[in-house]
Each structure stands twice: as C-alpha cells, then as structure tokens.
Amino acid sequence: MADAPELADRLRSLERPDLLALEKLPDARKLFFARGTYDADTRVFDSSVPGLSEVPAGSPQALFAVVFKSYPEGGWLAELEGMGLVPLEPVPSMGYLVWGSRTAISSLPGSRPWVQGVFEVPAGLKRFRVDTVPAGDPGGPSSTVVTVVDEAGNAALEELKRLSTRPVNKVFTTGRLTDYGAYLTPQQGIEVSRRPDVLAVSRQPLGAVPADERSNRIIGGTFGTPGTSWPTQIGTNPSTPQFYWDAYMTQLANAGIDPQRQTIGFLDTGVDEGFRRENPPTDDCPPSLGTAGPDCRLVFTTDASLDFGLPERKADDWRDHGSAVVAIAGGRTSSARDTRGYAFAQGVAPGVNVAMSKILFLCNGTGNDPTAPRPQAQPGTDGIYEVIDFMDMQQLLRYSLVEMTCPGQLPERPAPPEPPVRILNHSWRVPPGGGADGREYDTVSKLIDVSARDLGCVSFAYQVGGTAVPRFGADGAGALHVIAAGNRTAPAGDVPLAVAGSDQEVVSPANAKNGLTVGATRTDDPRTCDPDPGTTTCWGAENLLGSNPRVVAGFSRIGYPNLRLKPDLVAPGSRVYGPFTQRNFWCQDICLIRAAPGSACVPPGPPDIWSYFWMRGTSFAAPAVSGAAALVRDWLGSSFGRSNPSSALLRALMIATAKNLVPARSAWGSCCDDPGNPATCWDCWDMRPAPDQYQGWGGASLDRLFGATSRYYLYDQGTTFTSNGQVWSKVLTITDPTKPISLALTWTDRATATTNWNLVNLVNDLDLEVTIWDGQGYRVWAGNVYYCDRDAVGSGRTGYSLDSGTTTCGLSADRKNNVEKIDISPARIPAGATQMTVTVRAFALTGDGVEPCTRPGTSRQDFALAVENGHE
C-alpha cells in the first residue's frame, strides 16, 4: 500500500494496463465490526453502543485487534505465533483478532513494520441482544451462544457450566474458536463478555417465523429456448399435446434428467399428515408426494418435538406451511386445475425425494405446549442428549443437519435418506434485532456458511449407553442452502417496495454468504379471492398487486444498496397455490379455494369442501428454486458426469443463467423491455436492472439450461490459491457470438466471527475478468461492474456488464461479495471474435476457505465457475 503522497505519485506515473494497475482502498484503515466501525487513524468508533469502554485491564492475557498495513499474510501470522500469540480470525478490511500476552501484543506497532496499530477489543463489541433484549423476551435465563478462545483453557467453559441453568452444549468449532450454547440471564451474558477469553456473547432470538404450475411456467420458459422465461403474462395453459409442465418434464426425461435421483431436505412445520403412525404401525404418504409404499417420495422425516416411541405421527403438519413448501418444490400433478388450466399442485421437480425435519410449530393440535423443551433421553436409554429448545434456531438447525446427513445409525434413526440430502430448503427466518444488533452475522448464518462447504463441521449430542456422544453431519460433503429472503412487516395488498435503510433488509439466515437467498415476485393470476371485500380476509387487497411476475412483491425483504448483494435470486411468491391439510383446519390461512375450475374462493367452513388455498411470502418462492436446483444437480450428473457438484458450482450455474427482470428503465418507477416504446413499460417502483437490491441477480430461470454441453463451461474447485496475486486463466471458445455470454464465479467463503459486520465480512477476495481481442487491443470486462450511476436510466444501465470501451468510471473491482458475475452483450463482442480469456485472480486471502473447521494460519481458497455460451 502507498500511504506517502510521493510514493503514490510515483506509482501513478507507472500505471499502464499492461504494467501496473492502481486501486484506491478507502477502507483500508477501518475495521468493520457488527456493532461499530473502528477507524485506525482516528482511533475512534462510529457508534455508541454500551460497553465500548469495558476492557479487563488487570488480566495478563487479552483479546486485541491488530491492524496491518496490508492484507494479512501467512508469514506475519506465523511470526505472531512464534511470539506465543494466538491469531484467531480476520476482521475486514486489514485486521486480525489476536489473543495472548497483553505485553507482547502491545509491543507490535513498534517492533513489526507490517503492523499499523493494535487496540483491545471492548466487551461492548462482543454482545448481541444482551444489553437490550428483543421484544417479547422476558429477560430471564435463555439460550445464549458464547464464543470461547480454545487456547485459553477451560476457565470460560467451567464458568458457563456454573452459570447455565441447562447443560452446556458445544455448537461447533471453527479454527481456534468454539461456540457453546448455555442458558444465561442478560446480566450473566454481560459479565461473561468481559472475559478476555470470550469473543462473543449472543442471546438467541425467540424462534423463527415463517405450489403451482404457474410458477413453473414463469421460471421455466420454453425448454431449451433462451429468453423465454419470465414473460410479463403467461396466458392460458394449452392441454394438447400435453399440459405445459407435463411436456417440459417429458423433454427433461428425454435429456436423461430424473428428479427421483435427488433428495431435498426441508426444515419446516412438517408435511401433510406425516410419514408413519407408530401405533398401530401403518404407512402414510402425503397425496402430493405419491401413494403409500414404494411410490411415496417422502423418504425421511424427523421431528424435533417428539419422542418417537409415542403414538404420534412423525413430522405431522398441523399448519399448511410445510406441506405447501414441499408441494411447490416437488409435488406430483394434481387432477384439479384452475380457470386457465394450470394445475393446483405441481412442483418444479415432481418426483424428487423429500426429507422433512419438523422444527417450526406455528400451530399446535396435539394439546402439548410447542414451546416446552424436549427433555434429554432417560438415564440408561439411547436418544438425544441435548435439551431441545424450540425457540433456539441454531440448535434446531444443527439437529436437522445431523439427522438428515449423518452417515450410519443414530439413536432415533436407522439410516440417513437415500439419495443423500445435498439441497436444503429454509423457508423461515430469525426475527431481526434492532439497532446495531440488526447487523448481526449470527450463529445460524455461520452454520449455513460452514455446512455449505462441509456438513461434517456440524455436531449434535446424543446419549448412547448413558454417555453423551457427539454425532456429525456428512464429513467432507457440502450442501446448497436455499433460503427465503424473509417477509417485511407490511399490510396485505399492494404495498410499495421496501426502501433500503428502513430496517427492511434481509436478516439471518438470509444474510449468510454461501447460501442462495431467494426473494419473491408477483405472479400472473388476475382472479379474485375475497369473500369479504370490507376486510383483509383472503388478503382481499392482494388482488391489487397486479399480475406482472417481473415486479418484486412489496413484502419481500431486500438487500443493501452498493454493498453485499442480496437476495441472490427471486421467484414467484404471491398468490401461490398450496395443498390444504386436514389435520387442524382452524389453524389454516383463510384464503381457501375450491378444486373446481370455476371457483376462486370459498368462505371458512368444514374442512371437506376445499382442497387448496392461496399463500404469499418468500417462504413459497424459495422452494421453487430448490426444485430447480434439484433438476440442475441431476443434469450435471447425467450430462457432465458431475454427480456430486459442490454447492459453489450449483450457485454459480443458477446465478449465471438468471433472468434480468428489468432490461431498462425509462424513468424512476417505469421498467421497460424497450425504453423507447411506452407500450413495453410497466410500473416497477424502485426496481432497477440486475444486479440490484430487489431482484438480486434476477429471476431463477431454466430456459438457458439443459442445452447441448457445448454451450457451457464448468469448473468446480480444481484450483486452490494459497497466496495473494495468484492467477488461474482459461481460453474458451465462444459458442454463439450473436447471443449473450454469462459467467459467474462463486466460492465458499470462510465463516467469520460473530463480531464482524455482515455487510463487509468477506474473508477471501477473488476477482473475475474476461478479455476478448478486438483486432487492436483487448476489450476487458470485470466482475460485478454493471453501471457507473446506480440511478441511470435508458442505456446507462441495461443489465449488461460495462467493459473497457463503454465505462466512464473505470472497472473497479468488487470487494464485498463472494459472487462475481459478467454479462456480455452480443453487441459488445468484437466482430469475428471466436475466443475469450477468462481469468480468476486471488486479490486477498486472509483465511482458510477450503477447510472451514481448521485453525487459521493457512490462507487458501478454491472456486467454482459457470459459463453459458462458451466452452473449451
């Protein structure tokens, strides 16, 4: 880095595209913590959260943040270890958390030329939902996750055991930090946070809050015909020679794609009437998933609330939420169709295998208290060891991941589902905290990021032979987590799109780096369903939302402008059909519809007069993407021989082929296919061409997939960078220069400490670049450079990447995201060009992104790359 003005001037004099490129790093001297940003030059924080002056001055050991003069290097960390210090995890931009001797750490600025400064981490930066408890939290002992420095010994763990009102459980370990779950009061949490061997104390939020052929038509388009997905209207469903999705599935089968080779795991309210009644033992199967016996596609259930020796149904859905989510992803074709001929229940991947973990209890019909903890197994018996708290989502997530993927036998489960679960659907969110706590990158998000790379990092404690024994998820296998973006608080009806900064951004787990976060759009269904127009019954005003699926629904949570891009994708989530469950009809949503084609709505009544209902929410957009991911995963196996693709490759391919829903804007609120033709425009509020904070990278789409293998280039974690500046490069042939070229680079970034701000908590930073020779020089594209003015209209922002010949603001590299994408307009492909060079460069490696459970010290990162319209 060039701090001195004279050195910067000398470097600028050397700057040439073929010799030296300079990049300003205005945040180089800042450390981005979740509860405040520290400026190393002024030595002050930009926030006033409680506890910023709390440091344990009398302790010989301490927890410090070390600010380096450049991105941390392995040799520097090794030198710190040689001094007896313990490097923990990086802090963006150029910092590192270090534990050890106060004297040794304090000496670093004067003894090491690569150290800019150090400061002791105050207790206030470590606390989340502790100083001010969330709404509805009574303030007594509650689930609290405490992050402890392993090398500091057992003193912190012993104190947790003394204070906790329930057994202390190990959550997971990353590097030299271990998260423990305990039951503490807020005041106990404050006291624990003041320990120098404790990195974070996070009081867990209270619980989580939570299918049809139309969605399939919107995201599917015409099979093998790019550009046909996401029409503004879908019209009626022709029945000859086959209904739309039946014909689509026939073409998939002809291409060798079979959803029955894949399994999607769901974490939800259960499914229909469950899987099996234990007493007397009889098989059962939800109607949308087949009939009882070998034809049933429900292959596995587990229920966090039940001792399976009781005469209860496993994972029984007493509310319709989970059953609808499952049907949207993988439901079989229903015999009933609506007035336009679309099936009420037909999933994106009909026939896919379903595994369900019931963790949500939105409605209870058993007479039991759904918030009462499930106790440990009785002494001398096998079962779960941890006391399951249904308000503790990190524990329920760990339970689900281990139950679904742990190889071998568990005390309550003979074997994991087959085929194995490698796609997980999360149609739930953690209630957001307020103020600084709303920025939290919490334990749930960390679990998502860790298990996206290695499920074996996740554990849950069982009792075997009277002894507590940890069991782990599938070792070395990662999972694609498809996560609902979450619904913002809004009345029913035509609400305006959320405004960034108004506490409407995505929260945990949708802020995880390595998941695929899905927002919701409207759908194309102009029918009404309102038995009582004077009320919001059936979301009567929902009909005002219009019928343009290219408009993001007003209830869908959004991303952050000009920072980390979320959501990743969108899918239809308004007025989505779901199958009605008969178990507890008074708990259902009240927008109920008859199966008969001529009926749109019925009033509440006995449960035998309807079969389906309308639902809305990002909960019902996410499973459409999960079903699409199952099709893509099977296609990778059947056509490319990649039967076990990484979650990074699945993310890359689905992002690369996403559909930009806004080709252009003619003015604010007016989105157009052609801004020069008003007839092609529609009202779209604050939406902009992709990428933007509403649609992310665009709508999940299948029309650019399943084509000839010569249209694609796929690279899956075949190169590992180990030092800054390393380069991987590949020359590809352009398949069709008259069509757009899309490339997406993704990597499973290492999970960071809870104390880091989730908007800028990138550990390893890679850059994507494409060059094409135009006869006189190279035309250059850089990842995530799509516009110079965020609010540009017309040709200023089109959804295509800028290049070295069109940009007026340079090609500044992205320093926030672990997804980089380039969309090349066919108009910018040089005439006669047949090849392009794709380059991936390691800009800054500060942690181990390959083995997420390992200790820091080894900085390395691999990556996945998907290219559409290019091949070797």
Say whether pLDDT at 361 is over 60: yes
Q: Average the pLDDT over each of 433-447, 451-465, 477-491, 858-872 and give the range with the smallest value.
A: 433-447
Q: What pLDDT does 602 receive?
A: 52
Say whether pLDDT at 695 is over 80: yes
Q: Average the pLDDT over each of 409-423, 441-455, 537-551, 740-754 and give the range with the smallest value.
A: 537-551
pLDDT confidence bin for 215, thresholds 50/70/90:
confident
Which of 223 and 623 is assigned the larger pLDDT?
623
Q: Which residue is listed with tokens 């690279």?
A: 715
- Asked if 127-203 and 250-457+466-625 have one fold, the answer is no
Highest mean pLDDT (candidates 1-5, 6-10, 704-708, 726-730): 726-730
Residues 6+ apart with CB under 8 A from 657: 701, 702, 704, 705, 742, 866, 868
Could you tell me if 208 and 508 are in contact, meaning their C-beta atoms sit under 8 angstroms apart? no
pLDDT confidence bin for 27, thresholds 50/70/90:
confident
Residues 6+ apart with CB under 8 A from 111: none
Could you tell me if 172 and 399 are in contact, meaning their C-beta atoms sit under 8 angstroms apart? no
Residues 6+ apart with CB under 8 A from 718: 862
How is the chain split into domains, by residue range? 28-122, 127-203, 250-457+466-625, 705-871
Q: What pLDDT does 467 receive?
A: 87
Say whether pLDDT at 817 is over 70: yes
Say whether pLDDT at 264 is over 50: yes
Using a pLDDT cut of 70, give the percent of the chain over it: 83
Q: What pLDDT does 544 receive?
A: 47
Residues 6+ apart with CB under 8 A from 691: 565, 697, 698, 784, 786, 821
pLDDT confidence bin for 364, thresholds 50/70/90:
low
Topology of domain 250-457+466-625, per CATH? Rossmann fold (3.40.50)
Q: Average the pLDDT over each of 36-45, 56-65, 427-436, 750-759 and give the range with the smallest value.
A: 427-436
Topology of domain 705-871, per CATH? Jelly Rolls (2.60.120)
The 10 Å Cβ neighbour count of residue 336 is 16
From the options 3.40.1440, 1.10.150, 1.10.8, 3.30.70, give the CATH code of 28-122. 3.30.70
Q: What is the mean pLDDT of residues 25-53?
A: 88
Q: What is the mean pLDDT of residues 666-676?
A: 90
CATH class for domain 127-203?
alpha beta
Q: Average the pLDDT over each of 312-316, 785-789, 819-823, 845-849 and give the range with the smallest value.
A: 312-316
Which of 503 and 717 is assigned the larger pLDDT?
717
The 10 Å Cβ neighbour count of residue 70 is 14
Say whether pLDDT at 542 is over 90: no
| DSSP assignment string, 340-356 | TS-BSS--SSTT-EEEE
Q: Average the pLDDT over each of 205-209, 238-242, 363-367 and give the range with the smallest value.
A: 363-367
Per-residue HEC secondary structure of 218-251 comes to: HHHCCCCCCCCCCCCCCCCCCCCCCCHHHHHHHH
Q: What pLDDT does 368 receive?
A: 47
Distances (CA, A) of 343 to 100, 211, 253, 443: 63, 9, 20, 40
Mean pLDDT of the chain: 86
Q: How far apart are CA 858 and CA 75, in angstroms?
A: 10
How many CA atoms are closer than 13 Å to the CA of 858, on its beta-carbon side? 14
**pLDDT by residue (tens digit) across 369-405?**
555 677 777 777 778 888 888 888 999 999 999 999 9
Which of 285 and 251 is assigned the larger pLDDT?
251
Could you tell me if 480 and 636 are in contact, meaning their C-beta atoms sit under 8 angstroms apart? no
Q: What pLDDT does 607 receive?
A: 44
Helix H or strand E segment including 867: strand 864-868
* Paired tokens of 396: 């329920």
Q: What is the mean pLDDT of residues 479-497?
A: 76
Q: What is the mean pLDDT of residues 718-746?
A: 98
pLDDT confidence bin for 496, thresholds 50/70/90:
low
Could you tell me if 310 and 329 are in contact, meaning their C-beta atoms sit under 8 angstroms apart? no
Which of 504 and 603 is assigned the larger pLDDT?
504
Which of 869 and 793 is assigned the larger pLDDT?
869
Radius of gyration of the chain (CA): 27
Could you tell me if 481 and 451 are in contact, meaning their C-beta atoms sit under 8 angstroms apart? yes
Say whether pLDDT at 101 is over 90: yes
Q: Average the pLDDT over each of 274-288, 471-485, 542-556, 821-835 and give the range with the smallest value.
A: 274-288
Could you tell me if 147 and 198 are in contact, meaning their C-beta atoms sit under 8 angstroms apart? yes
The 10 Å Cβ neighbour count of residue 663 is 17
Say whether pLDDT at 758 is over 90: no
Q: What pLDDT does 309 receive?
A: 53
Say whether pLDDT at 603 is over 80: no
Q: What pLDDT does 540 receive?
A: 43
Q: Average the pLDDT over each of 355-364, 457-466, 627-636, 658-667 and give the range with the smallest value.
A: 355-364
Which of 315 and 31 is assigned the larger pLDDT?
31
Q: Average the pLDDT over each of 493-502, 625-634, 677-686, 857-866 and give the range with the smallest value.
A: 493-502
Kind of pairing, strands 263-268 and 353-358?
A: parallel
Q: What pLDDT does 598 receive?
A: 47
